[in-house]
Every structure is written in structure tokens, then in C-alpha cells.
Chains A and B, each alone.
Chain A
């Protein structure tokens, strides 16, 4: 399956997952679907039959509420049966709203209480270095709103100071957080300047342009600068479905009714 087709399948199955519950974190799941498609098509060195394989790339979904998008991706890659997507948030499920390292094959870190993922990723990256594992990366997906949590910057300092060049951080800058537009609630820009000041090799791309995303990842991996990497992604919350794209900040957590689900699938044809 090519990246374009895979990104559509991720969106379809993300909405299937959320529709099973009737509502959930729609906006921030759809805004990372293109990144997940590029990562899992061209970059993630993982084995669905051995999800804990020692010599693998790892993904820390620090914005853990986007779990449904990752679940859709992992199911499509064969980490677990696609039917699991219909069990979101049911008692005893393997797929909780926010990702859990122990419940879901292919999930490399628990997240949901925002701001902890980059620190955990530093631990994973240090572990790989101490073990002598080379050419493997720890990818982190954080939201731009999440960067308001101060712990991110403690972790950023550490990543640069310890030259954790095996970390690639993606900032899903979809411009909205729960209470409104990020610039109105608590502006986080200039993100490129901030990450560069903290010692990251930083790029900024359109987070829905597969070729641009892929090129940015290739560049980060081939850049032997000895510093951690950051790719700021300009994205649209609810991307891919017209009525979610235009919903405003309410799309962070919203409904997926039978009618909305049918209309969304129609748009994704």
C-alpha cells in the first residue's frame, strides 16, 4: 500500500475506532495520520510479530490522547486484529483512550498525562546508546499545546546535553488546544527558535505533505550533527474530513455519530 492510500486507511480506521465509542479525540488523531503513514511505511524498523524486538525503532506518542490514530496504524500493520479497534475504552480493552505500554502490542510508552513523553524517550534513547544499538531511532510525537508543560524543556535540555542524536521529535502544531487557539490560550511560538536554542537540529514542514515529511526524516537521520532532531509539523486539526477541519477547537474531543462516520467515509473514498 502506498503512503497516500495508507494515510486514508489510517483515517478510516481511526474513525472506525472512535465511532465504536461514539466520540473521542478526533482532531488530534486525524492531524497525525499523515506522519504515521510516512513513518510506518518508510521508516519504522519494527516487527509486528515481535513487538518487543530489542533492535527496533520506538515511538513515544507523548500526546497520548491520539491513541486511536496509532491503534489504526498498528492494526493495519498487523500488530493485532483489526477488530480490536471496535473495543475502544470498553472495560478490559487493550485499547484505552490514552496509550499504555503494557496493554497494546506496538505501543512503546504510556502517555496521556501530558509532558512526560520526551523524558521517557530520553531514557529509551540513552538505553539504546548504552547497549550499543546503532541506526535505531526513538521517535516522539508531541502536540504544540503540550509544549506548555515545563517538563518538555527539562527533557530537551538533557537530550541536547547528552547528544541524543537518536531522538527525532515531531511537534504536531495543529494550532488548537482544548480551550481554543493555542496563540490565544498560551502562545508557544517561535517553536523553531525555541528548539534551536535548546540545541535541536530543527526543521519545519507541512505535516500533511508526505514527500516533505519523508525528506525531513531522511535529512534528520543522515545529519551527523550529534544533536537531537526536531521536526515542527504545521498541521490542521481534524485533517482529511471537511466538517472536522472547520469545527474549531471543539474538534479536540467530539462526536463520531453514525451520520458523521458515514459522511467521513464518503469523503475518504
Chain B
């Protein structure tokens, strides 16, 4: 099932028992899936038109009145376009607004260029009081939502609207701020967030056949980061490779190396977008062009292991 359907379905279930949840859209209710909620909850769904700054601050007024507002747009317009509104009215004002960004990074494909962001997590990580979630699949999204609703504080959540691949099974449990241990290994640590986790799992299998055992950590909560799990794994393997659908500046690689450089200095490398402009293209072509493929993960892992 598409993530946007999982998202709207779980929100509907939660809204039936929680009358504080409030949905706001800026002319992307259909694209993002929330349009399905308007008929059942007409008083708690609001489309403000193409006006993301207004949407963000209307949500602040609702949050200040005790509601739990969710605002939605494509990832760049949910974050960088309204950065000051989020910095002043959400972060500095300590308001409980849930910011949802669709189709982050390369997943914008044919809307890329203008609608593509590699800096959304960097922007949100730089602000106090905002947790950052990079979601991999529909199961993880659905399991995270009850927590997102009950968490008393602002959050940024990025996911791919139309994706149908699934990594996790129904018995998956979401634990905010905790890494998911997907492989136990001793030679190298791979830390992957969001959809790069699909590629990281495949890469770990390829490397296993070459005799390289990977300690694989899946990260949904990029902030606050599971420092303990990352330090423990780094101390075990001595090599850490991160993988993210985001710029190398300010996202997962930055978060991981901020922790390791101070507490467990470790040789690190990143599969990430390296200071490149955005562009349009097919997903596979974009991933290849930006160096975000399974083979890119394998190659960088092998090179890390060659370092003495």
C-alpha cells in the first residue's frame, strides 16, 4: 500500500479517539493523501491554499490552543520555505507542531530541481526543540504515528508518498530515538536512514557473500540520535559508513560524526549527496548520478576496510 494511504488510514484511526489532532494542507491534500480525512473530520481539517507560511503559523495558533496540528507539503516547502516561521513560531515558541515533508531528496524525481531538497534534515536538525524522523516504509510510518501524536513537542517527519516497498513486517515495533538493529556483524558498521535502508540491507547481503560482516543500524530518529547504539557499534567494528538520501552536510553523516568525533573517534565515510545541485530524472538514474545505490554503499564499505 502507498505510504500516503497508510498515513491517512492510521491518522483517521487516531483521530476517531483523539479530538485534538488537526490536519492542515497547502493545496496538496490530494497529493499527500490527507484529502481522505476531510469528509469524516470537517472541523479538524483545513486547506489554506498555496500558502505554506500561513499554514505553519495557523498551526502554531492551534497548538497554542491545545491542538496537535499536522502540516503537510513537499519536503522543501514544509521546511526551507518556511524556515523562519518554524524557527520563531514553532521552535523558539516551543509549540507542538508536526511538520510532514513528502518525497524528500531524490524521490521527487520528475518534480526535481525546484521541488527537490537535500537540506531539509539539516535545516530541521539545526533548530532546537524539533525531533527529526526519516521514515523507511509504510509499516514504520504506521507504527510511528501513535507515538508522534503523543510526543509533546515539534517534529519533522519525511517520507515518500507513493512508495510501496516494505522492509519491516507487521510485528515491527517503533521505539523513538532508538536504532533498529538489522544485521549483527564485526567488520564494519553501516548506519542508514529513511529509504537508504532498503539499499543498505541489500548491500549488507552483497558484502556478506564477500566475507565482510556488517553491523547494520537502521535510523528513523535522526534527532535525537541513538548515540549509545552508534558508539557501541563503532567501538566493535572500528569503521562506520552512513547512508542517507540527503546532503552530506547537516544530515545523518553529520549527526553520526558529531557523536563519534567527540566520544569514539572512528574512521567514517558517507553515502550522501556531495554538494550537488538538484535535478529531474528517473529515480534509478538520480540514485546512480548522486551515488546513492547499493553498489555505492558496497564500494565505499570496501574502501573503508582497506584503510589501515
Contact = CB atoms under 8 A, between A and B. Distances in A.
B84 interface: yes
B3 interface: no
Contact of B94 (A102, A120, A151, A154): A102
Given A110-B88, A154-B51, A120 B65 contact: no
B53 A158 contact: no
B84 A113 contact: yes
A214 to B, nearest CB: 26
A185 to B, nearest CB: 21
Interface in B78-96: 84-85, 87-89, 92-94
A101 B84 CA distance: 17
A121 interface: yes
Q: How large is the interface on A (under 10, 10 to 19, 20 to 34, 35 or more residues)?
A: 20 to 34
A131 B65 contact: yes
Nearest to B51: A154
Given A120-B61, A123-B63, 18 more contacts: A101-B93, A108-B64, A109-B60, A109-B61, A110-B88, A110-B93, A112-B88, A113-B84, A116-B57, A116-B89, A121-B61, A122-B58, A122-B61, A126-B58, A130-B43, A130-B67, A154-B48, A154-B53
A123 B48 contact: no
B62 A127 contact: yes
Interface of A: 100-102, 108-110, 112-113, 116, 119-128, 130-131, 151, 154-155, 157-158, 162
Contacts, number: 97
21 contacts: A100-B92, A113-B85, A116-B57, A116-B88, A116-B89, A119-B56, A120-B58, A120-B89, A123-B61, A123-B63, A124-B61, A126-B58, A126-B61, A127-B64, A130-B44, A131-B65, A154-B49, A154-B51, A157-B49, A157-B51, A158-B48
Contacts of B85: 113, 116, 119, 151
Q: How large is the interface on B (under 10, 10 to 19, 20 to 34, 35 or more residues)?
A: 20 to 34
B46 interface: yes
B80 to A, nearest CB: 16
Interface residues of B, dominant DSSP? helix
A122 B65 CA distance: 11
Given A127-B66, A151-B53, A154-B53, A119 B94 contact: no
A110 B57 contact: no
A30 B158 CA distance: 45
A154 B43 contact: no
B8 to A, nearest CB: 20
A119 B92 CA distance: 17
